[in-house]
Structure formats: structure tokens, C-alpha cells
Amino acid sequence: MLVRDLSETDLLASFVPLLPAGRATRLGPGDDAAVLGVAGDLVVTTDVLVEDRHFRTAWSTGEDVGWRAAMQNLADVAAMGAEPTGLVVALAMPGDTPAAWVTDLARGLAAACAPHGVGVIGGDLSGGPAICVAVTAFGELDGRPPVLRSGARVGDVVAVAGTLGRSAAGLALLTAHEHDGVVPPPGTDLLTRTYRRPDPPLTAGVEAAHAGATAMLDVSDGLLRDAGRIATASGVALDLDVGALAPDVELLAEAAESLGVDPLAWVLTGGEDHALLATFPPGALPASFRPVGRVGSGKGVTLDGEPWVGSFGWDHFGY
């Protein structure tokens, strides 16, 4: 059964019942718009996943893609110090997409959202030349100011909640296996799973806000690049402690050896684990964060005081 064999009504009838109603949903799918209960200022973010660019149907199921589309947006909400409450999804896809892929996508959205009380409150389904999943997510600040990228101060501690480099390593393993037949070492399932279904520490965002985080973002383009964004926005320098990243590097060592690459590069430039990177006044670190560096005067990002001379990863429009 393909999407083009179904009317829009039929497709919606198989999709909508799979979606969770969150705790803030006042009106779910079915009318011109949904209604979300909001207590004060609302955090809003949008991100799009495009087939063959951000995912491949050969490597990720519809459920994986739904999970990832939800999580990368919920991580952006968490990175403002907000609690995610809901999301909407706009999905364009070719008529020869299996209808089961679309309901799997709904299941993946639900699996990512429901445990956090996040509702999938509305959406739009359309034809298109490739699968394109645009999610817009919402979160509550509960009266707190948002944690921006611009508030880091000299003397602050740089800290991370969540994992680094696993998604990049997982993607590299999948790519090497397909192109060069490299067999992934045993025990690397964790890495490909993180690529398919990143599991960012969503509740750590609110914890960071309560603890007085001065700046925060989620690591979507790599630790160095995203640390550089905090440095630029705050007008400070961030120095990372390579020793503090040793556990992250160690976890990737076997996979890196199998591909003949440096695992530190994955930790420093791999995004899409959607870890939270934040700065805190000394002594203020909440339990979910571990220190990885400090804020100094100047600009840019250094590693043990030295600049990084490797690549910074990819750009969204490069080929």
C-alpha cells in the first residue's frame, strides 16, 4: 500500500490516532488549527529533515525519522531552559512512499514525545519529490527568562549534559559499511542507534536554568562550532579541557580504530547527539552536567589553550 493509493482523509485516519495528546493540548488535530495551553512566554523552534540529506530510508525506519525529527526540536526547546509541551509536523513525501512508513513516522514521533508529556497537536501532509519532515516544537518557561547563547561570563565553568560524537561515529560506521564493506566492530550498535535515535537529556535544560546557567545551546553542529557560537554571542573565549573529554573519546576508540580515524575529531566536531552545552558560575553545576572547560576573556574556542587545526565538519548547503 503506497501513499498515492490512499486519499488524504484515509492517510490522516491512519496517522492521527497514533499521535499522543500532551498535557498542554487543548485541541488536537482535525480543525484549521490546534490549540495549545500556554501559561506565559512560549519557546518556539523549527527544524527540517530532508531525505538523502539528513537521513536515508535504507538506514533509518520511519519510526527512527519520526523520533529524530521530534528529538532534535525538543533539544532546542530544552536548550532555552524550557520544558517541551507540544509539536506540529509538516510532512511532504512522494506518492510511492509506503503508507506504513508514514504511520511508522507517527509512531516514532509518539515514542519520543509521549514519555515527556509532549503532544503532537497538529500537522500537514502533502505530496513532494522527496520526504521532507518539518517539525515545530513548543515549550514553557514557567516565568523564567530563556537561557540565551549570549550570557557566558569570564570565570564561568563550561559544562555538558549528554553524549558527544556518538551520532557522527554511527553515521561514519554506516557509510563505511556501505561503501567499503567495513564490518562495524562488536559493541558499536550504541553508536548507530544514537545516529538513528538521539536521546538528548531533555530535563537537563530546565535543571540548568534553575541552577543559573548563563548560556546554553544544544550541540547540533559539533562541540567546537557550537562552543564558538556561545563565545561569539557572549563576547568571551571558551577553553575546553581535552582530559575531561577522555571518557567520550574512549567510548568511540574501537569504532575509530576500525575506520582509521581520530575519535577526538568525532567528539569535537560531530553534532546530532544533541547534548546540551552550557556555562555556569563556578560551583553552580547541576548533577546532570559535567565540567569540560572554562570561560576566559578574548574570543574563540581553544583546546587546552591551543587552537584546533582539524576540520569543523559540514555546511548545510555544501555538496
Residue ranges for the binding site?
A: 32, 45-47, 54, 76, 123-124, 149, 218, 220-221, 272, 314
Site residues for a second copy, window 53-82 (CB under 8 A)?
A: 53-54, 76-77, 79-80, 82
Site residues for a second copy, window 123-182 (CB under 8 A)?
A: 123-130, 132, 134, 136-139, 141, 146, 148-149
CB of 312 to a second copy, least distance (A): 11
Can you tell me the distance from the alpha carbon of 112 to that of 118, in angstroms, rounded to the nearest whole number?
A: 9
Q: Are 271 and 220 in contact (CB under 8 A)?
A: yes
Nearest C-alpha neighbor of 73 from the set 50, 55, 49, 53: 49
Site residues for a second copy, window 278-317 (CB under 8 A)?
A: 315-317
User: Binding residue for a second copy (CB under 8 A) from 63, 218, 239, 273?
Assistant: 218
C-beta closer to a second copy: residue 149 or 294: 149
Can you tell me the distance from the alpha carbon of 69 to that of 46, in angstroms, rounded to the nearest whole number?
A: 10
Can you tell me the distance from the alpha carbon of 108 to that of 111, in angstroms, rounded to the nearest whole number?
A: 5
Nearest C-alpha neighbor of 218 from the set 137, 311, 105: 137
Site residues for a second copy, window 235-254 (CB under 8 A)?
A: none
The dihedral through the CA atoms of 231, 236, 242, 246 has a sign that is negative
Instruction: State yes or no: residue 217 binds a second copy (CB under 8 A).
Output: yes
Size of the site for a second copy (CB under 8 A): 72
Pick out the residues of the known binding site for Mg(2+). Answer: 32, 45-47, 76, 124, 218, 221
C-beta closer to a second copy: residue 44 or 182: 44
CB of 46 to a second copy, least distance (A): 4
| 255 burial level (CB within 10 Å; 0-12, 13-18, 19+) | buried
Instruction: State yes or no: residue 33 binds a second copy (CB under 8 A).
Output: yes
